Structure 1
């Protein structure tokens, strides 16, 4: 008989439209606020600007999702690990 294991951590890797849940929520907040701005403004330039801003935000979030080390500014590990005391003198 076939056994199935229970996968409890499904929400950790859930993806909607190529974005994790937190980034998808950010995108939905942006879209809702954009719709509110579009409803209360009747300018064609504003509508085009908001649409291009949402597309730009979506592309940026997709790139950040594809490259998670994009915001890493420092290295995780040092070049050399040693137990010696650091005297501060450089012999080279």
Structure 2
């Protein structure tokens, strides 16, 4: 009888070819631009350069996907969020 394992990683991010969705879209944009460059150029060096560029981009994007802290520049949200009005008056002393 065939046994099936339980899929426990349902909350992980979706990945295509080891890249998250935005990074995969960036890679596909680069591939489509490279194909246009290959179609309209007749140089063998350009074709090789495009393949090398896409390979380097893929390696860099997979490294960014494995280590997302490299792209984290600053905090977006404050440490605390409060609905309290900022007022110079102190009502607690009364």
TM bucket (normalised to shorter chain) is 0.5 to 0.7
**Aligned alpha-carbon RMSD (Å):** 2.5
Unaligned runs of 5+ in 1: 1-8, 76-92
Higher helix share: 1
Gaps of 5+ in 2: 1-9, 76-94
**What's the TM-score, normalizing by structure 2?**
0.64
- Post-superposition, which runs of at least 4 consecutive aligned residues in structure 1 deviate over 6 A? none
Give the paired residue count: 69
Give the Å deviation of 1:19: 0.3
Q: Using structure 1 for the length normalisation, give the TM-score.
A: 0.65
Q: 3-state DSSP class of the match of 1:13?
A: coil
Once the two structures are superposed, the pairs formed by residues 2-81 of structure 1 within 5 Å of their partners are 13-72=13-72
